[in-house]
C-alpha cells in the first residue's frame, strides 16, 4: 500500500448487530442470520450466527445451508450448520470423503503451491426416484482462512452412487499445518433456497513444504452453538474482494440474508459500481460529498461515507478522505 510517511489512525465503532432480513416462505418457519460486526478488514475473523424457529419455538434438529458471496458474486464459503441434534440424511448422503492424489489414491499432505485432490462419494438413498445434487468442497487452512472451493452438479439415479474427484490449488502463501475440507450436498445453492441433504463431512489434511502419502480420516462437523441456534466462523483472505458481502442462510424454502462490508482502508469509500475498489480518488470524494450533512436514518445516508464512524457525514470524514487521497491497495 502506497502511503505518506506519517501514521494512519483509523477508528470505527464495533457494531454488535447487523442488518437482518428474514423472508417468510413457509408458514411458521423463521430463519435469522447476523454477523458480529457490519465491517471487517482483510485477515479478520468473520463471525456468523442465527437461529431457526417454527411457530415461535426453537428447532433443535435442523440443518442450515449457509453461503457467503463477495461483491463480485464469487462464493467465499459454503457450509452446513446444525441447530443441535443432527437429523438423518434425506434422499442423499455423503458416504466417502478422502484427500488423495490425482488418481484417487489416499494422500493427506500437500505442498504449498500445488494442487490438493479430494474424492467425494454421494449416494441416492431413494430406491425409486433420481435426485439432483450439488456437491461442494470448501477448504480452510490452519488459520481458518477459506481459500478454495470446488463443486459439481449432477443427477444420481435411484439407489446409485456418484464419485467426484476434484482439485483445488493450495496458495503458496498458505500457512503450514493442519487444514480441513468441508464437503456438503445440496439440492440447490443456498442463495436459491437450497436444502442440505445431510450433515457436512470433514477431512483433515496437512499443508507443508514437503510431501507425504499417508491417508486422511473424515468426520462429520458438528456445530458448537446452543440448541436452536447455529454459528459459523471463517477468516478473510489477505486480499479479499472489497465491498459488500452477502450471507445466505436457507432452510426449506425459507431464506434469510445479511450483509457485511470488507475494507482495506475506511477512506476507500466507493468505486465505479458503488463498491470499494482499492484506491482513494475522486470517486470517494464525490461519494462523501453526496452524503455530506446526513446522519443515520436520512435518505442520503451512506454508511461507508461515515469514515470515522460517528454516524454523521461531516468535515471530519472529508478530511480523512482528503488525507488519504492517492493511496492504493498494495
pLDDT tens track for 243-287: 999 999 999 889 999 999 999 999 999 988 888 999 999 999 999
The pLDDT-based confidence of 60 (bands split at 50, 70, 90) is very high
Q: Where in the chain is the domain with CATH 2.70.50.60?
A: 87-221
CB atoms near residue 234 (< 10 Å) = 20
Q: At the top level of CATH, which class does the domain 268-323 belong to? A: mainly alpha
Q: Where in the chain is the domain with CATH 2.60.40.1930?
A: 1-84+225-264
Under 8 Å between Cβ of 92 and 198? yes
Alpha carbon 34 to its chain centroid, in Å, reads: 12
Residue with cell 424457529: 53
**Regarding the domain with residue range 1-84+225-264, which homologous superfamily does it belong to in the CATH classification?**
Macroglobulin (MG2) domain (2.60.40.1930)
> Treating both helix axes as pointing N-terminal to C-terminal, what angle do 282-291 and 315-323 enclose, rounded to 10 degrees?
180
**At residue 207, does pLDDT exceed 70?**
yes
The pLDDT-based confidence of 330 (bands split at 50, 70, 90) is confident
pLDDT value of position 28: 87
The pLDDT-based confidence of 211 (bands split at 50, 70, 90) is low
Q: Where in the chain is the domain with CATH 1.10.1330.10?
A: 268-323
Percent of the chain with pLDDT strictly greater than 70: 87
> For residue 329, which phi and psi values (nearest 5 degrees)?
-70, 135
What's the burial of 132, exposed, middle or buried (CB within 10 Å: 0-12/13-18/19+)?
A: middle
**At residue 99, does pLDDT exceed 50?**
yes
Average pLDDT, the chain: 88
Spatial CB neighbours of 143, under 8 Å, sequence gap ≥ 6: 175, 235
**Of residues 140, 160, 42, 26, the one with CA closest to residue 95:** 160
Question: Which grid cell sits at 257?
Answer: 440474508
pLDDT value of position 251: 96
**Regarding the domain with residue range 87-221, which homologous superfamily does it belong to in the CATH classification?**
abc- transporter (atp binding component) like domain (2.70.50.60)
Percent of the chain with pLDDT strictly greater than 90: 80
CA dist., res. 190 & res. 312, Å (int): 36
**At residue 1, does pLDDT exceed 90?**
no
The pLDDT-based confidence of 57 (bands split at 50, 70, 90) is very high
320 vs 224, more confident: 320
pLDDT value of position 177: 96
The pLDDT-based confidence of 111 (bands split at 50, 70, 90) is very high
CA dist., res. 201 & res. 198, Å (int): 9
Within 13 Å and on the Cβ side, how many CA atoms surround 148? Answer: 21
Specify the 3-state DSSP secondary structure of 162: strand
**At residue 136, does pLDDT exceed 70?**
yes
CA dist., res. 139 & res. 149, Å (int): 6
CA dist., res. 272 & res. 190, Å (int): 29
**Of residues 234, 223, 113, the one with CA closest to residue 168:** 113
Q: What is the DSSP letter of 65?
A: E
pTM of the model: 0.86
CA dist., res. 308 & res. 316, Å (int): 7
**Of residues 214, 267, 241, 255, the one with CA closest to residue 98:** 214
Beta strands in the chain (DSSP E): 21-23, 29-31, 34-35, 39-41, 45-54, 57-58, 63-69, 75-82, 92-100, 109-111, 115-124, 131-140, 146-156, 161-169, 177-186, 201-208, 218-220, 229-235, 243-251, 254-263
Task: Tell me the helices (H) and strands (E) count for the chain, helix number first.
Answer: 2, 20
Amino acid at each position: 500500500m502506497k502511503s505518506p510517511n506519517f501514521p494512519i489512525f483509523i477508528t470505527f465503532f464495533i457494531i454488535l448487530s447487523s442488518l437482518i432480513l428474514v423472508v417468510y416462505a413457509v408458514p411458521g418457519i423463521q430463519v435469522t442470520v447476523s454477523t458480529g460486526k457490519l465491517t471487517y478488514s482483510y485477515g479478520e475473523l468473520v463471525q456468523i450466527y442465527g437461529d431457526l424457529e417454527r411457530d415461535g419455538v426453537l428447532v433443535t434438529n435442523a440443518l442450515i445451508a449457509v453461503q457467503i458471496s463477495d461483491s463480485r458474486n464469487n462464493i467465499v464459503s459454503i457450509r452446513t450448520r446444525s441447530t443441535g441434534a443432527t437429523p438423518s440424511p434425506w434422499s442423499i448422503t455423503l458416504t466417502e470423503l478422502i484427500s488423495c492424489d490425482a488418481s484417487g489414491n489416499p494422500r493427506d499432505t500437500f505442498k504449498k503451491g500445488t494442487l490438493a485432490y479430494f474424492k467425494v462419494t454421494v449416494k441416492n438413498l431413494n430406491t425409486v426416484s433420481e435426485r439432483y445434487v450439488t456437491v461442494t468442497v470448501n477448504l480452510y487452512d490452519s488459520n481458518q482462512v477459506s481459500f478454495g472451493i470446488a463443486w459439481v452438479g449432477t443427477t444420481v439415479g435411484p439407489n446409485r452412487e456418484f464419485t467426484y474427484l476434484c482439485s483445488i490449488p493450495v496458495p503458496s502463501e498458505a500457512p503450514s499445518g493442519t487444514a480441513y475440507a468441508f464437503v456438503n450436498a445440496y439440492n440447490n445453492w443456498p442463495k436459491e433456497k437450497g436444502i442440505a441433504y445431510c450433515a457436512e463431512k470433514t477431512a483433515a489434511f496437512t499443508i507443508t513444504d514437503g510431501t507425504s502419502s499417508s491417508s486422511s480420516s473424515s468426520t462429520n462437523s458438528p456445530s458448537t452453538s446452543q440448541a436452536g441456534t447455529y454459528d459459523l466462523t471463517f477468516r478473510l483472505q489477505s486480499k479479499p474482494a472489497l465491498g459488500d458481502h452477502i450471507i445466505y442462510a436457507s432452510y426449506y424454502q425459507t431464506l434469510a440474508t445479511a450483509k457485511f462490508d470488507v475494507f482495506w482502508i475506511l477512506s476507500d469509500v466507493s468505486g465505479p459500481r458503488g463498491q470499494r475498489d482499492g484506491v482513494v480518488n475522486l470517486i470517494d470524494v464525490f461519494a462523501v460529498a453526496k452524503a455530506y450533512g446526513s446522519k443515520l436514518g436520512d435518505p442520503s445516508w451512506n454508511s461507508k461515507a461515515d469514515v470515522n464512524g460517528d454516524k454523521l457525514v461531516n468535515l471530519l470524514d472529508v478530511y480523512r478522505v482528503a488525507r488519504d487521497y492517492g493511496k492504493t491497495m498494495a
